[in-house]
Each structure stands twice: as structure tokens, then as C-alpha cells.
Amino acid sequence: MNKKIIVLNGAPSTGKDTITHFFSDKLDFEKMEMKKELFDIALSVSGISKEDWFERYGDREDNLKEVPWDKLNGISQREFLIKISEDWMKPVFGNDVFGIKAANRVLDSDKKMFMFSDGGFIEEFNAITSVFGEDNVLLVRLHREGCSFEGDSRTHLSHKHEVDVHNNGSIRAACQEIFGEYVNRVL
């Protein structure tokens, strides 16, 4: 079975998670995250419950994932994840470790269509394209006024099959544009 993949690539608050939920709910794409294993490790070593972790991490109003937390000895969730990724996982297993793990999850799934909400590192993206082929992967670079990668280690990526989508606040319009490009370039 040929697996078809869309990878969303955009700065924080460009709509990646909302678009991924739309594709999952309406078009039967499987929602995926490169950082799934990173969260699994963080939960395991911190002893924080999944509920507590994601309640705080998902708080967009106060952006609590950026705030130091006593349960993490005074560092933020984001800093904790970066430490796990950059100080341990990538130096030991390579910069593509989370991409390889993500590709294996896709291979293990019975589904045919997948959307990753968090493509921001070229090594992880390349791990996906090396397993599934460049022609089976669409890279969507999301843009939104007021959103940037400033202070972030991620950036916009480039790929043979890429499209720039400007989210002007209409998720439906952004989703229609992405789906049209998916049909034209990947299917």
C-alpha cells in the first residue's frame, strides 16, 4: 500500500494543529507528530501524568509550556523537551532519530493518508522522504501574519513537492488549498 503524507511546516500559531485535526476528522488522515516519542520520554522520566502535562502544555492563553514549572525543577516544559532532544537523543541516536521513529509509526499503521503537524527539522523530514519517496510527501509551509520562527530552532524547509499556504484566519480556506495541492501533487 502506497502511503501518502503531508508535513506541515510553520512557525508557532500558524494553525498546524487545527489544520491537522480538520484533516483527521473530515478526510480520514491519521494525525501524526514527529515529537511523539519526545513526549513519551518526557512523561516517563518526569513522572508527570499525561493529563497534567498536556493540560499545561496546551494552554495557549497563558502559554504555560514556556513558563518555569516546579515539577521540572524550575525549567519550562519546552526547555525540558529541548534538553531531552538536543542533549541526549540527537547526540546519541542522530539528528534524524525522531523522523525515523515517525516513519516506523507510519509503516506500522493500516491507514494510507497521514498528516504531520510538526515538521521543522530537515533531518527528520528527510527520514520520512527516504522511506516513502519524495513523490509521496507534500511539504506545506504555513505562514500567518504576526507569526515567526524568531527564537526557535525550527525553520521553513524546502522540498520537491512544496506549497506555501497563507493562513489568514480562515482554517477552512487553508485546508481547501492544502487539499487541492495534495490532490495535484501527491495523488
Which of 55, 85, 60 shows the shortest CA–CA distance to 71?
Answer: 55
DSSP conformation class of 83: I
For 155, half-sphere exposure in the C-beta direction (CA atoms, 13 angstrom radius) is 5
Looking at residue 183, its pLDDT comes to: 85
Residue 9 to residue 25: CA distance in whole angstroms:
20
Choice between 89 and 187, residue whose per-residue pLDDT is larger: 89
Looking at residue 129, its pLDDT comes to: 96
Whether 13 shows a pLDDT value over 90: the answer reads: no
Looking at residue 61, its pLDDT comes to: 84
Residues 100-156 pLDDT 10s = 999 999 999 999 999 999 998 999 999 999 999 999 999 999 999 999 988 888 889
Whether 69 shows a pLDDT value over 90: the answer reads: yes
Residue 41 to residue 45: CA distance in whole angstroms:
6
- Domain coordinates of the chain in residue numbers? 4-34+96-185, 37-93
Instruction: Evaluate if pTM is beyond 0.85.
Output: yes
What confidence tier does 42 reach under pLDDT thresholds 50, 70, 90?
very high
Looking at residue 1, its pLDDT comes to: 59
What are the residues whose beta carbons fall under 8 Å from the beta carbon of 31, sequence distance 6 or more? 20, 21, 23, 24, 115, 117
Residue 174 to residue 165: CA distance in whole angstroms:
7
What's the chain's average pLDDT? 93
* Pairing mode of beta strands 30-32, 162-166: unpaired
Which of 119, 132, 121 shows the shortest CA–CA distance to 90?
Answer: 121
Mean local confidence (pLDDT), 84-102: 96
Amino acid at 98: F
What is 4-34+96-185's CATH number? 3.40.50.300
Residue 128 to residue 50: CA distance in whole angstroms:
27
Choice between 151 and 27, residue whose per-residue pLDDT is larger: 27
Residue 147 to residue 12: CA distance in whole angstroms:
7
